[in-house]
């Protein structure tokens, strides 16, 4: 991400979990805020996350300028993929898993499996507006198949909802960010204790 102005959070331990965190206050009801509000935001997130190259990002922005409606459709499908993944993995929603599998079949149909740099990987046949969605969907399925998902955790703030892999030795990480949700909740607990003492 060197040289890129960072506007998204990258704290989850996997870039696809960082995608899940492109919603602020996921559990906050009316306070919930979408951070992928435009196709340009999707491209920016992909660039920050090294999912597209600088040249691909520039090409995608140009294509979006030529077809606003298609770009918005692609943005909505990226958000749908993100939410289907969240529902499948964090809510054990089998219908969401099936929907994500359908999206995956479409994503791999647009690419070839090639052997480069000593490993097999998907290579997209062309750079078009579906490129971010296809790479994201393939990334989400790869994440779902990791063998360390027992370390998945959701921030314990009652509104936050951000998710991460807890790689702490004791697996006792409670907050997405100790300086944000952690400090806020510790302060809330402190004031609650002080208030309780004042009523004793």
- Tell me the pLDDT band of 190, cut-offs 50, 70 and 90: very low
What the block records as the tokens of 168 is 């702490």
Q: How confident is the model at residue 179 (pLDDT cuts 50, 70, 90)?
A: confident
40-44, 118-122, 148-152, 194-198: lowest mean pLDDT where? 194-198
- Across residues 75-93, what is the average pLDDT? 97
CA torsion angle 134 136 141 145 (round to 10): 140
Give the residue ranges of DSSP H helices in the chain: 15-20, 39-48, 54-66, 68-91, 94-109, 131-144, 183-198
Per-residue pLDDT reduced to its tens digit, 128-171: 999 999 999 999 999 999 999 999 999 999 999 999 999 999 99
Q: What is the pLDDT of residue 75?
A: 98
| Per-residue pLDDT, 79 | 98
Output DSSP code: residue 6.
-
3-state secondary structure of 126: coil
**Could you identify the residue written with the tokens 């004031």?**
191
pLDDT value at 27 more than 90:
yes
For the record, the structure tokens of 145 come out as: 């198949």
Distance CA 56, CA 67 (A): 17
* Single pTM value for the model: 0.90
Residue of 142, 143, 114, 107 lying closest to 128 (CA atoms): 107
What's the mean pLDDT when you consider all of the chain? 92
């Amino acid at each position: 991400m060197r040289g890129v102005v960072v506007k998204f959070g990258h704290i989850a331990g996997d870039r696809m979990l960082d995608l899940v965190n492109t919603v602020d206050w996921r559990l906050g009801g009316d306070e919930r805020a979408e951070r992928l509000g435009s196709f340009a935001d999707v491209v920016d997130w992909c660039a920050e996350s090294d999912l597209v190259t600088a040249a691909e990002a520039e090409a995608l922005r140009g294509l979006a300028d030529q077809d606003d409606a298609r770009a918005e459709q692609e943005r909505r499908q990226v958000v749908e993929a993100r939410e289907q993944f969240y529902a499948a993995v964090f809510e054990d929603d089998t219908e969401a898993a099936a929907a994500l599998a359908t999206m995956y079949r479409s994503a791999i149909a647009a690419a070839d499996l090639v052997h480069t740099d000593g490993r097999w990987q998907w290579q997209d046949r062309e750079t078009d507006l579906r490129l971010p969605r296809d790479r994201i969907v393939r990334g989400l399925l790869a994440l779902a198949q990791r063998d360390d998902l027992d370390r998945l955790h959701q921030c314990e703030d009652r509104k936050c909802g951000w998710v991460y892999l807890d790689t702490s030795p004791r697996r006792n990480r409670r907050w997405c960010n100790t300086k944000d949700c952690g400090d806020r909740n510790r302060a809330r607990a402190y004031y609650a204790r002080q208030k309780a003492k004042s009523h004793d």
